[in-house]
Amino acid sequence: MNPPVPELQIPAAPAHSGATVPLPRTAPGALIRTTLLSLPAEPGPAALFRAALAELVVLEGRLTALAPELGDALYASRADHTEDFHRDVVLPLRRAVHNGREPRPALLRRLDSLPDRLPELRDWLGARSRRAELLTALRTGTAPALAAGRSVLAGLCREDSFLRAASFTSADLLRAVMRAGEGLEDRRARKEEAGV
Protein backbone atom coordinates (compact mmCIF):
# COMPACT_ATOMS: atom_id res chain seq x y z
CA MET A 1 0.00 0.00 0.00
CA ASN A 2 1.32 3.42 -0.95
CA PRO A 3 1.53 6.02 1.80
CA PRO A 4 -0.77 9.01 1.32
CA VAL A 5 0.76 12.01 -0.39
CA PRO A 6 0.40 15.02 1.95
CA GLU A 7 -0.22 17.61 -0.76
CA LEU A 8 -3.07 15.51 -2.18
CA GLN A 9 -4.86 15.14 1.13
CA ILE A 10 -8.07 17.13 1.26
CA PRO A 11 -9.35 18.28 4.62
CA ALA A 12 -12.52 16.51 5.63
CA ALA A 13 -15.76 18.44 5.79
CA PRO A 14 -17.48 18.55 9.17
CA ALA A 15 -20.61 16.41 9.39
CA HIS A 16 -23.78 17.45 11.17
CA SER A 17 -23.13 15.21 14.15
CA GLY A 18 -19.64 16.58 14.71
CA ALA A 19 -17.82 13.71 12.95
CA THR A 20 -15.84 14.45 9.83
CA VAL A 21 -16.75 13.00 6.44
CA PRO A 22 -13.97 12.51 3.89
CA LEU A 23 -14.39 14.40 0.62
CA PRO A 24 -13.96 12.66 -2.72
CA ARG A 25 -10.49 13.06 -4.19
CA THR A 26 -9.40 13.71 -7.72
CA ALA A 27 -7.03 11.03 -8.90
CA PRO A 28 -3.41 12.17 -9.13
CA GLY A 29 -2.50 12.95 -12.70
CA ALA A 30 -6.09 13.57 -13.84
CA LEU A 31 -6.42 16.50 -16.17
CA ILE A 32 -9.51 18.62 -15.77
CA ARG A 33 -10.10 21.19 -18.49
CA THR A 34 -12.96 23.57 -18.95
CA THR A 35 -13.45 26.01 -21.75
CA LEU A 36 -15.74 28.94 -21.32
CA LEU A 37 -17.72 29.79 -24.41
CA SER A 38 -20.34 32.39 -24.81
CA LEU A 39 -23.18 30.45 -26.37
CA PRO A 40 -25.37 32.60 -28.58
CA ALA A 41 -29.12 32.51 -28.31
CA GLU A 42 -30.80 29.81 -30.36
CA PRO A 43 -31.68 31.21 -33.80
CA GLY A 44 -35.35 31.71 -34.62
CA PRO A 45 -35.73 28.89 -37.18
CA ALA A 46 -33.98 26.42 -34.87
CA ALA A 47 -36.16 27.45 -31.92
CA LEU A 48 -39.32 27.04 -34.00
CA PHE A 49 -38.15 23.64 -35.21
CA ARG A 50 -37.32 22.50 -31.67
CA ALA A 51 -40.70 23.72 -30.36
CA ALA A 52 -42.58 21.92 -33.15
CA LEU A 53 -40.61 18.76 -32.48
CA ALA A 54 -41.34 18.93 -28.75
CA GLU A 55 -45.04 19.44 -29.46
CA LEU A 56 -44.99 16.47 -31.84
CA VAL A 57 -43.51 14.25 -29.14
CA VAL A 58 -46.25 15.27 -26.70
CA LEU A 59 -48.90 14.78 -29.37
CA GLU A 60 -47.63 11.29 -30.23
CA GLY A 61 -47.94 10.37 -26.56
CA ARG A 62 -51.47 11.75 -26.50
CA LEU A 63 -52.42 9.77 -29.61
CA THR A 64 -51.01 6.62 -28.05
CA ALA A 65 -52.99 7.25 -24.87
CA LEU A 66 -56.21 7.94 -26.81
CA ALA A 67 -56.01 4.75 -28.89
CA PRO A 68 -57.32 2.21 -26.32
CA GLU A 69 -60.19 4.47 -25.24
CA LEU A 70 -61.13 5.12 -28.86
CA GLY A 71 -60.99 1.42 -29.70
CA ASP A 72 -63.35 0.65 -26.82
CA ALA A 73 -65.68 3.50 -27.81
CA LEU A 74 -65.78 2.32 -31.43
CA TYR A 75 -66.59 -1.20 -30.26
CA ALA A 76 -69.33 0.06 -27.95
CA SER A 77 -70.87 2.18 -30.73
CA ARG A 78 -71.98 -0.86 -32.70
CA ALA A 79 -75.62 -0.50 -31.69
CA ASP A 80 -75.74 3.13 -32.87
CA HIS A 81 -75.35 2.43 -36.59
CA THR A 82 -76.08 -0.15 -39.26
CA GLU A 83 -74.20 -3.39 -39.71
CA ASP A 84 -72.88 -2.27 -43.12
CA PHE A 85 -71.57 1.01 -41.70
CA HIS A 86 -69.92 -0.87 -38.86
CA ARG A 87 -68.27 -3.37 -41.20
CA ASP A 88 -67.22 -0.85 -43.90
CA VAL A 89 -66.23 2.14 -41.75
CA VAL A 90 -65.95 1.43 -38.03
CA LEU A 91 -63.98 -1.83 -38.19
CA PRO A 92 -61.31 -0.52 -40.61
CA LEU A 93 -61.05 2.64 -38.50
CA ARG A 94 -60.70 0.58 -35.34
CA ARG A 95 -57.97 -1.54 -36.96
CA ALA A 96 -56.09 1.57 -38.07
CA VAL A 97 -56.31 3.07 -34.58
CA HIS A 98 -55.21 -0.18 -32.96
CA ASN A 99 -52.24 -0.58 -35.32
CA GLY A 100 -51.23 3.08 -35.10
CA ARG A 101 -51.71 3.65 -38.83
CA GLU A 102 -53.14 6.60 -40.66
CA PRO A 103 -56.70 5.79 -41.79
CA ARG A 104 -57.31 6.03 -45.51
CA PRO A 105 -58.76 9.40 -46.60
CA ALA A 106 -61.72 7.64 -48.24
CA LEU A 107 -62.54 6.04 -44.90
CA LEU A 108 -62.36 9.38 -43.09
CA ARG A 109 -64.75 10.92 -45.62
CA ARG A 110 -67.32 8.21 -44.81
CA LEU A 111 -67.40 8.84 -41.04
CA ASP A 112 -70.68 10.75 -41.34
CA SER A 113 -71.86 11.79 -37.84
CA LEU A 114 -69.64 9.34 -35.96
CA PRO A 115 -67.27 12.05 -34.61
CA ASP A 116 -70.28 13.93 -33.22
CA ARG A 117 -71.43 10.82 -31.36
CA LEU A 118 -67.97 9.78 -30.09
CA PRO A 119 -65.97 12.50 -28.33
CA GLU A 120 -62.94 10.17 -28.26
CA LEU A 121 -62.99 10.02 -32.05
CA ARG A 122 -63.34 13.79 -32.28
CA ASP A 123 -60.31 14.25 -29.99
CA TRP A 124 -58.32 11.66 -31.92
CA LEU A 125 -59.13 13.23 -35.28
CA GLY A 126 -58.16 16.67 -33.95
CA ALA A 127 -54.86 15.31 -32.66
CA ARG A 128 -54.20 13.58 -36.00
CA SER A 129 -54.92 16.83 -37.82
CA ARG A 130 -52.52 18.75 -35.57
CA ARG A 131 -49.92 16.01 -36.10
CA ALA A 132 -50.18 16.46 -39.87
CA GLU A 133 -49.72 20.23 -39.47
CA LEU A 134 -46.65 19.71 -37.29
CA LEU A 135 -45.10 17.24 -39.72
CA THR A 136 -45.58 19.74 -42.54
CA ALA A 137 -44.01 22.49 -40.44
CA LEU A 138 -41.08 20.23 -39.57
CA ARG A 139 -40.53 19.27 -43.21
CA THR A 140 -40.47 22.90 -44.32
CA GLY A 141 -38.49 24.07 -41.28
CA THR A 142 -35.69 21.52 -41.39
CA ALA A 143 -33.46 23.28 -43.94
CA PRO A 144 -33.68 26.76 -42.32
CA ALA A 145 -33.10 25.28 -38.85
CA LEU A 146 -30.04 23.37 -40.05
CA ALA A 147 -28.66 26.43 -41.81
CA ALA A 148 -29.14 28.55 -38.69
CA GLY A 149 -27.55 25.89 -36.50
CA ARG A 150 -24.59 25.57 -38.84
CA SER A 151 -24.02 29.31 -38.82
CA VAL A 152 -24.00 29.28 -35.01
CA LEU A 153 -21.58 26.34 -35.05
CA ALA A 154 -19.33 28.18 -37.49
CA GLY A 155 -19.30 31.20 -35.18
CA LEU A 156 -18.36 29.05 -32.19
CA CYS A 157 -15.63 27.34 -34.18
CA ARG A 158 -14.06 30.73 -34.94
CA GLU A 159 -13.70 31.62 -31.24
CA ASP A 160 -10.12 31.58 -30.01
CA SER A 161 -10.88 29.73 -26.78
CA PHE A 162 -12.62 26.92 -28.66
CA LEU A 163 -9.80 26.68 -31.21
CA ARG A 164 -7.28 26.53 -28.38
CA ALA A 165 -9.20 23.74 -26.65
CA ALA A 166 -9.52 21.79 -29.90
CA SER A 167 -5.81 22.16 -30.56
CA PHE A 168 -5.02 20.41 -27.28
CA THR A 169 -7.38 17.55 -28.09
CA SER A 170 -6.24 16.32 -31.49
CA ALA A 171 -5.01 17.56 -34.83
CA ASP A 172 -7.95 15.94 -36.62
CA LEU A 173 -10.45 17.72 -34.40
CA LEU A 174 -8.64 21.01 -34.90
CA ARG A 175 -8.80 20.61 -38.69
CA ALA A 176 -12.51 19.77 -38.47
CA VAL A 177 -13.18 22.78 -36.23
CA MET A 178 -11.29 25.07 -38.59
CA ARG A 179 -13.23 23.73 -41.59
CA ALA A 180 -16.52 24.22 -39.71
CA GLY A 181 -15.44 27.76 -38.81
CA GLU A 182 -14.88 28.54 -42.48
CA GLY A 183 -18.45 27.49 -43.23
CA LEU A 184 -17.51 24.95 -45.87
CA GLU A 185 -20.42 22.84 -47.07
CA ASP A 186 -18.74 20.00 -48.89
CA ARG A 187 -19.11 16.30 -48.18
CA ARG A 188 -16.12 16.17 -45.87
CA ALA A 189 -17.40 19.08 -43.80
CA ARG A 190 -20.79 17.36 -43.37
CA LYS A 191 -19.05 14.17 -42.28
CA GLU A 192 -16.91 16.04 -39.73
CA GLU A 193 -19.82 18.13 -38.46
CA ALA A 194 -21.06 15.46 -36.05
CA GLY A 195 -17.65 15.24 -34.38
CA VAL A 196 -17.37 18.97 -33.95
Q: pLDDT, tens digit, for every residue of 90-141? A: 999 999 999 988 899 999 899 988 899 999 999 999 999 999 999 999 999 9
Phi, psi at 156, each rounded to 5°: -65, -35
Which value, to the nearest 10 degrees, does the dihedral of the CA atoms of residues 109, 115, 118, 119 take? 140
- Which of helix, strand or coil describes residue 157? helix
Q: Given this model, what pLDDT does residue 174 score?
A: 83
CB-side neighbour CA atoms (13 Å) of 27: 3
Q: Given this model, what pLDDT does residue 20 score?
A: 60
- Which of helix, strand or coil describes residue 45? helix
- Contact between 176 and 195 under an 8 Å Cβ cutoff? The reply is yes
> For the chain, which residues score pLDDT lower than 70?
1-37, 196
pTM above 0.85? no
Q: Given this model, what pLDDT does residue 181 score?
A: 83
Query: Parallel, antiparallel, or unpaired for β 20-21 and 13-14?
Result: antiparallel
Q: Given this model, what pLDDT does residue 177 score?
A: 83
Residue 14 β-bridge partners: 20
| H helix or E strand, kind and range, residue 83 | helix 83-85
Long-range contacts of 174-183 (CB under 8 A, 24+ apart): 180/153, 180/154, 181/154, 181/157, 182/154, 183/150, 183/151, 183/154
Q: Given this model, what pLDDT does residue 31 score?
A: 46
- CA distances for 167 relative to 160, 172, 175, angstroms: 10, 9, 9
